[in-house]
Amino acid sequence: MQQRLTLRRPDDWHLHLRDGEMMKAVLPETARHFARAIIMPNLVPPVVTGADAAGYRDRILWAKPKGSKFQPLMTLYLTETTDVRDLRAAAEIGLITAVKLYPAGATTNSASGVRDITKVMRVLENMAQIGLPLCVHGEVTDPEVDIFDREAVFIETVLGPLRQKLPELRVVMEHITTKDGIDYVKGGGDTIAGTITTHHLVINRNHILAGGIRPHYYCLPVAKRETHRLALRAAATSGDPSFFLGTDSAPHLDSAKLQPCGCAGCFTATNTLSILAHVFEQESALERLEAFTSLNGPAFYRLPVNEDTITLTKGTAVQHPAQIDTADGPVTVFDPGFALLWHVSA
């Protein structure tokens, strides 16, 4: 039985760091193990211009731990008034790595998102020309669509037609939660990829709702039924280069999560690699963990793989903290519901 595993240092292709005191508290949890991360732009106000992205990047670099080599990969928040010249200029100097599409109202701080995809076609055409990836939150927000069907309907009514019009546009379907999403990416050719989160490999909707509501398992897109979770696990552990890690680690204060209308998001930055090693070991796929965490993402984003490595060793149970303290209160770390035996040596 394998007890030790060395990987190229991983990257996180979907990460929420927030800003201010929250960012200062949670950034070390990612920088400890990850070399790079795609940083989500849904701040208040959102990161919509090159100047916004530069300012946010500088705040992240200032807040990272001393001696850390962590590199934030910045994104712009796509709106119906995004300036094409500003976007192209930011891409040309390497300031941004991708652009994020939030359907308006789909998730936390998405009110400024896109309501009519036709109004951003000029921006998307320019992105296709320069090879700049579009990261999509793949859900519709029509109140008549059941929340568990939002992803499948988005593929049918938004993503599929968009990619027919712009087949050269490079798209990352983020935080896939359904077999529908997995099958779409598998059959989509080399201009589409998908990220899979740590928590969606572990929980299904019963974990949120059965036996009492568990707010710290509530996320968007919401976890689906067990058949979808198994499809995600099969894709993540398959070695298929179309799929790679995007944790969607999303910190919220407990005081905001534990409300009658609580925030959506699971904070997994602290223990993601221990959880993933557990999952891949269960699937007899430890030899494919490096592809998922460290190789497939750089290949799609046309970036070099990381030169340094990390080592995971199996032993006694890892004692991850239950919470991360911030200046404004605690953030609860995702609890996978089982003992974690894989230790990470940074």
Burial letters 158-178, b for 16+ CB under 10 A, else e: bbeebbeebeebbbbbbbbbb
Q: Is residue 19 annotated as part of the catalytic site, yes or no?
A: no
Say if CB 343 and CB 313 are below 8 A apart: yes
122: burial class by Cβ within 10 Å (0-12, 13-18, 19+)? Answer: exposed
Q: Which of 11, 52, 240, 248 is catalytic?
A: 248
Burial letters 279-311, b for 16+ CB under 10 A, else e: bbbebebbebbbbbbbbbbbebbeeeebeeebe
Task: Compute the distance between CA of residue 145 and CA of residue 148 in angstroms, rounded to an integer.
Answer: 8
Burial letters 54-66, b for 16+ CB under 10 A, else e: bebbebbeebbee
Task: Compute the distance between CA of residue 25 and CA of residue 321 in angstroms, rounded to an integer.
Answer: 13
Closest to 38 measured CA to CA, from 77, 67, 3, 89: 77
Q: Which residues are known catalytic residues?
A: 248
